[in-house]
Amino acid sequence: MRPVIKASLHYLALSIVSILWLIPVYAMIINGFKSNLEALSSPVLSPPRSFSLTAYITVFNDLAKPLINSLIVVIPTAFISAFLGAMGAYFFYTLSYSFSKFSSTISDLLFSLIALATFIPYQATLIPLTRLIVSMGILDTYIGIIFAMLIFYIPTGALLMSMFISVIPRSLIEAAKIDGTGDLKIFMKIVLPLSMPGFISTLIFIIIQSWNNFFIPLILITTPNMRLVSVAVQSYTGGYGTLYNDTFAAAMIASIVPLAIFIFLGRYFIRGLIALGGGKGV
Protein backbone atom coordinates (compact mmCIF):
# COMPACT_ATOMS: atom_id res chain seq x y z
CA MET A 1 0.00 0.00 0.00
CA ARG A 2 2.85 2.36 0.77
CA PRO A 3 4.22 2.34 -2.82
CA VAL A 4 0.72 3.29 -4.04
CA ILE A 5 0.54 6.22 -1.60
CA LYS A 6 4.05 7.31 -2.51
CA ALA A 7 3.25 7.19 -6.23
CA SER A 8 -0.02 9.08 -5.68
CA LEU A 9 1.75 11.85 -3.75
CA HIS A 10 4.38 11.99 -6.46
CA TYR A 11 1.83 12.47 -9.23
CA LEU A 12 -0.14 14.95 -7.10
CA ALA A 13 2.94 17.10 -6.59
CA LEU A 14 3.80 16.80 -10.29
CA SER A 15 0.25 17.87 -11.24
CA ILE A 16 0.37 20.90 -8.94
CA VAL A 17 3.73 22.02 -10.34
CA SER A 18 2.46 21.52 -13.92
CA ILE A 19 -0.66 23.59 -13.25
CA LEU A 20 1.36 26.39 -11.68
CA TRP A 21 3.70 26.36 -14.69
CA LEU A 22 0.83 26.38 -17.19
CA ILE A 23 -1.10 29.27 -15.59
CA PRO A 24 1.12 32.07 -17.01
CA VAL A 25 1.27 30.30 -20.38
CA TYR A 26 -2.53 30.12 -20.44
CA ALA A 27 -2.76 33.81 -19.48
CA MET A 28 -0.38 34.84 -22.26
CA ILE A 29 -2.25 32.86 -24.88
CA ILE A 30 -5.82 33.90 -24.12
CA ASN A 31 -5.07 37.58 -23.48
CA GLY A 32 -3.41 37.81 -26.87
CA PHE A 33 -6.78 36.94 -28.41
CA LYS A 34 -8.54 39.81 -26.64
CA SER A 35 -8.92 43.41 -27.70
CA ASN A 36 -6.86 45.91 -25.74
CA LEU A 37 -9.96 47.20 -23.92
CA GLU A 38 -11.03 43.69 -22.93
CA ALA A 39 -7.50 42.73 -21.84
CA LEU A 40 -7.42 45.85 -19.68
CA SER A 41 -10.87 45.49 -18.13
CA SER A 42 -11.38 41.72 -17.76
CA PRO A 43 -9.70 39.31 -15.30
CA VAL A 44 -6.40 38.08 -16.63
CA LEU A 45 -7.47 34.41 -16.54
CA SER A 46 -10.93 34.89 -18.05
CA PRO A 47 -11.40 33.64 -21.63
CA PRO A 48 -12.02 36.24 -24.36
CA ARG A 49 -15.62 37.03 -25.28
CA SER A 50 -14.62 37.00 -28.94
CA PHE A 51 -11.38 35.59 -30.33
CA SER A 52 -9.30 37.88 -32.53
CA LEU A 53 -5.94 37.20 -34.19
CA THR A 54 -5.26 40.90 -34.77
CA ALA A 55 -2.77 41.25 -31.91
CA TYR A 56 -0.86 38.08 -32.85
CA ILE A 57 -0.65 39.04 -36.52
CA THR A 58 0.48 42.58 -35.75
CA VAL A 59 3.05 41.48 -33.19
CA PHE A 60 4.40 38.67 -35.34
CA ASN A 61 5.00 41.08 -38.23
CA ASP A 62 6.86 43.39 -35.86
CA LEU A 63 8.88 40.61 -34.22
CA ALA A 64 9.77 38.65 -37.37
CA LYS A 65 13.13 40.38 -37.76
CA PRO A 66 14.06 40.26 -34.04
CA LEU A 67 13.19 36.54 -34.00
CA ILE A 68 15.52 35.93 -36.96
CA ASN A 69 18.23 38.03 -35.29
CA SER A 70 17.91 35.98 -32.09
CA LEU A 71 18.17 32.69 -33.99
CA ILE A 72 21.26 33.93 -35.85
CA VAL A 73 22.90 34.86 -32.55
CA VAL A 74 21.68 32.13 -30.20
CA ILE A 75 22.32 29.00 -32.30
CA PRO A 76 26.06 29.56 -32.93
CA THR A 77 26.51 30.94 -29.40
CA ALA A 78 25.03 27.81 -27.85
CA PHE A 79 26.93 25.30 -30.02
CA ILE A 80 30.28 27.07 -29.74
CA SER A 81 29.88 27.61 -25.99
CA ALA A 82 28.90 23.99 -25.36
CA PHE A 83 31.67 22.57 -27.56
CA LEU A 84 34.48 24.82 -26.33
CA GLY A 85 33.15 24.46 -22.81
CA ALA A 86 33.37 20.68 -23.18
CA MET A 87 36.94 20.96 -24.43
CA GLY A 88 37.81 23.24 -21.52
CA ALA A 89 36.15 20.83 -19.09
CA TYR A 90 38.19 17.94 -20.51
CA PHE A 91 41.38 20.00 -20.19
CA PHE A 92 40.46 20.77 -16.59
CA TYR A 93 39.68 17.09 -16.03
CA THR A 94 43.11 15.92 -17.21
CA LEU A 95 44.90 18.81 -15.52
CA SER A 96 43.18 18.28 -12.19
CA TYR A 97 44.05 14.59 -12.38
CA SER A 98 47.71 15.48 -12.83
CA PHE A 99 47.61 17.96 -9.97
CA SER A 100 45.65 15.59 -7.73
CA LYS A 101 48.78 13.48 -7.41
CA PHE A 102 50.40 16.43 -5.63
CA SER A 103 47.71 18.64 -4.18
CA SER A 104 43.92 18.69 -4.26
CA THR A 105 44.04 22.41 -3.43
CA ILE A 106 45.25 23.29 -6.93
CA SER A 107 42.47 21.21 -8.45
CA ASP A 108 39.87 22.96 -6.30
CA LEU A 109 41.34 26.34 -7.25
CA LEU A 110 41.00 25.62 -10.98
CA PHE A 111 37.38 24.59 -10.56
CA SER A 112 36.71 27.71 -8.46
CA LEU A 113 38.14 29.93 -11.20
CA ILE A 114 35.75 28.41 -13.76
CA ALA A 115 32.83 28.89 -11.39
CA LEU A 116 33.88 32.48 -10.70
CA ALA A 117 33.98 33.29 -14.42
CA THR A 118 30.49 31.83 -14.74
CA PHE A 119 28.91 33.98 -12.05
CA ILE A 120 30.44 37.35 -12.94
CA PRO A 121 27.45 39.71 -13.38
CA TYR A 122 27.01 41.32 -16.79
CA GLN A 123 26.69 44.75 -15.23
CA ALA A 124 30.18 44.56 -13.73
CA THR A 125 31.71 44.22 -17.20
CA LEU A 126 29.63 46.90 -18.93
CA ILE A 127 32.37 49.47 -19.56
CA PRO A 128 35.29 47.15 -20.48
CA LEU A 129 33.03 44.93 -22.59
CA THR A 130 31.61 47.86 -24.54
CA ARG A 131 35.05 49.38 -25.08
CA LEU A 132 36.39 46.04 -26.29
CA ILE A 133 33.56 45.56 -28.78
CA VAL A 134 33.90 49.15 -30.04
CA SER A 135 37.70 48.87 -30.39
CA MET A 136 37.25 45.68 -32.44
CA GLY A 137 34.81 47.48 -34.75
CA ILE A 138 32.04 44.92 -34.26
CA LEU A 139 29.44 47.01 -32.44
CA ASP A 140 25.94 46.52 -33.88
CA THR A 141 26.94 43.30 -35.65
CA TYR A 142 26.05 39.65 -35.24
CA ILE A 143 29.71 38.83 -34.69
CA GLY A 144 29.92 41.40 -31.91
CA ILE A 145 26.93 40.13 -29.95
CA ILE A 146 27.97 36.49 -30.43
CA PHE A 147 31.51 37.29 -29.27
CA ALA A 148 30.19 39.09 -26.18
CA MET A 149 27.90 36.21 -25.27
CA LEU A 150 30.67 33.65 -25.78
CA ILE A 151 32.73 35.47 -23.15
CA PHE A 152 30.08 34.59 -20.57
CA TYR A 153 28.67 31.30 -21.83
CA ILE A 154 31.89 29.40 -22.57
CA PRO A 155 32.71 29.33 -18.82
CA THR A 156 29.11 28.25 -18.20
CA GLY A 157 29.53 25.42 -20.69
CA ALA A 158 32.84 24.43 -19.08
CA LEU A 159 31.31 24.42 -15.60
CA LEU A 160 28.34 22.28 -16.62
CA MET A 161 30.36 19.89 -18.77
CA SER A 162 32.98 19.44 -16.05
CA MET A 163 30.30 17.79 -13.90
CA PHE A 164 29.45 15.32 -16.67
CA ILE A 165 33.00 14.61 -17.81
CA SER A 166 34.19 14.08 -14.24
CA VAL A 167 32.15 10.86 -13.99
CA ILE A 168 33.83 9.25 -17.02
CA PRO A 169 36.12 6.42 -15.83
CA ARG A 170 39.73 7.56 -15.87
CA SER A 171 40.77 4.06 -16.94
CA LEU A 172 39.34 4.65 -20.42
CA ILE A 173 41.38 7.80 -20.93
CA GLU A 174 44.52 6.26 -19.43
CA ALA A 175 44.18 3.22 -21.72
CA ALA A 176 43.85 5.48 -24.76
CA LYS A 177 46.92 7.47 -23.75
CA ILE A 178 48.92 4.27 -23.27
CA ASP A 179 48.02 3.39 -26.86
CA GLY A 180 49.49 6.74 -27.93
CA THR A 181 46.20 8.51 -28.69
CA GLY A 182 46.36 12.32 -28.56
CA ASP A 183 44.15 14.42 -26.33
CA LEU A 184 42.11 15.84 -29.21
CA LYS A 185 41.29 12.37 -30.54
CA ILE A 186 40.49 11.15 -27.03
CA PHE A 187 38.12 14.05 -26.60
CA MET A 188 36.38 13.55 -29.96
CA LYS A 189 36.23 9.73 -29.94
CA ILE A 190 35.80 8.89 -26.25
CA VAL A 191 34.95 11.82 -24.00
CA LEU A 192 32.41 13.65 -26.16
CA PRO A 193 30.36 10.55 -27.15
CA LEU A 194 30.26 9.32 -23.54
CA SER A 195 29.21 12.73 -22.26
CA MET A 196 26.69 13.38 -25.06
CA PRO A 197 23.66 13.48 -22.69
CA GLY A 198 25.49 16.14 -20.70
CA PHE A 199 26.45 18.00 -23.88
CA ILE A 200 22.80 18.11 -25.00
CA SER A 201 21.72 19.28 -21.54
CA THR A 202 24.37 22.01 -21.59
CA LEU A 203 23.34 23.02 -25.10
CA ILE A 204 19.68 23.32 -24.08
CA PHE A 205 20.57 25.36 -20.99
CA ILE A 206 22.73 27.81 -22.95
CA ILE A 207 20.13 28.19 -25.71
CA ILE A 208 17.48 29.19 -23.18
CA GLN A 209 19.83 31.49 -21.25
CA SER A 210 21.13 33.28 -24.34
CA TRP A 211 17.63 33.56 -25.85
CA ASN A 212 16.37 35.28 -22.71
CA ASN A 213 19.48 37.42 -22.24
CA PHE A 214 18.37 41.04 -22.10
CA PHE A 215 21.31 43.06 -20.82
CA ILE A 216 23.99 42.22 -23.40
CA PRO A 217 21.90 42.90 -26.54
CA LEU A 218 20.42 46.00 -24.89
CA ILE A 219 23.88 47.51 -24.46
CA LEU A 220 25.64 46.31 -27.60
CA ILE A 221 22.82 46.78 -30.13
CA THR A 222 21.82 50.35 -30.95
CA THR A 223 20.28 49.88 -34.40
CA PRO A 224 16.56 48.98 -34.28
CA ASN A 225 16.94 46.58 -37.21
CA MET A 226 19.49 44.56 -35.23
CA ARG A 227 17.45 44.16 -32.03
CA LEU A 228 17.03 40.72 -30.53
CA VAL A 229 13.60 39.50 -29.50
CA SER A 230 14.32 39.87 -25.78
CA VAL A 231 14.82 43.61 -26.26
CA ALA A 232 12.06 44.03 -28.83
CA VAL A 233 9.43 42.64 -26.44
CA GLN A 234 10.35 45.29 -23.88
CA SER A 235 9.33 48.02 -26.35
CA TYR A 236 5.67 47.03 -25.96
CA THR A 237 5.65 48.46 -22.45
CA GLY A 238 5.95 52.23 -22.70
CA GLY A 239 5.92 55.13 -20.32
CA TYR A 240 2.83 56.68 -21.92
CA GLY A 241 0.67 53.58 -22.08
CA THR A 242 0.63 49.85 -22.73
CA LEU A 243 -1.24 47.80 -25.30
CA TYR A 244 -1.92 44.84 -23.06
CA ASN A 245 -3.16 42.44 -25.72
CA ASP A 246 -0.11 43.17 -27.88
CA THR A 247 2.15 42.77 -24.85
CA PHE A 248 0.70 39.34 -24.03
CA ALA A 249 0.94 38.31 -27.69
CA ALA A 250 4.55 39.51 -27.88
CA ALA A 251 5.48 37.59 -24.72
CA MET A 252 3.87 34.46 -26.13
CA ILE A 253 5.59 34.71 -29.51
CA ALA A 254 8.95 35.45 -27.87
CA SER A 255 8.50 32.38 -25.65
CA ILE A 256 7.87 29.98 -28.52
CA VAL A 257 11.49 28.85 -28.83
CA PRO A 258 12.10 28.20 -25.09
CA LEU A 259 8.71 26.50 -24.80
CA ALA A 260 9.41 24.32 -27.84
CA ILE A 261 12.76 23.31 -26.37
CA PHE A 262 11.15 22.36 -23.07
CA ILE A 263 8.38 20.41 -24.77
CA PHE A 264 10.36 18.56 -27.46
CA LEU A 265 13.86 18.40 -25.99
CA GLY A 266 13.13 18.37 -22.28
CA ARG A 267 13.48 14.59 -22.11
CA TYR A 268 17.08 14.88 -23.31
CA PHE A 269 17.77 17.38 -20.54
CA ILE A 270 16.36 14.91 -18.01
CA ARG A 271 18.41 12.10 -19.52
CA GLY A 272 21.52 14.19 -19.02
CA LEU A 273 20.71 14.72 -15.35
CA ILE A 274 19.94 11.01 -14.92
CA ALA A 275 23.24 10.10 -16.61
CA LEU A 276 25.04 12.46 -14.24
CA GLY A 277 23.37 10.93 -11.20
CA GLY A 278 23.96 7.39 -12.41
CA GLY A 279 27.61 7.99 -13.14
CA LYS A 280 28.62 9.30 -9.74
CA GLY A 281 29.48 5.88 -8.56
CA VAL A 282 31.71 5.08 -11.53
Torsion of CA 233, 36, 263, 88, to 10 degrees: 10
Q: What pLDDT is stored for residue 273 in this prediction?
A: 67
Q: What pLDDT is stored for residue 70 in this prediction?
A: 95
Ranges of each domain in the chain = 1-51, 53-278
Q: What pLDDT is stored for residue 21 in this prediction?
A: 83
pLDDT lower than 50: segments of the chain: 279-282
Q: What pLDDT is stored for residue 98 in this prediction?
A: 58
Q: Residues 126-168: pLDDT tens digits? A: 889 899 999 999 999 999 999 999 999 998 998 888 888 888 8
CA 202 to chain centre: 8
Question: What's the Cα-to-Cα distance from 78 to each of 86, 88, 122, 143, 263, rounded to whole Å?
Answer: 12, 15, 18, 14, 18
**Second CATH level (architecture) for the domain 53-278:** Orthogonal Bundle (1.10)
Question: Which residues sit opposite 47 in a β-bridge?
Answer: none
Helix ranges, 33-53 (H): 36-41
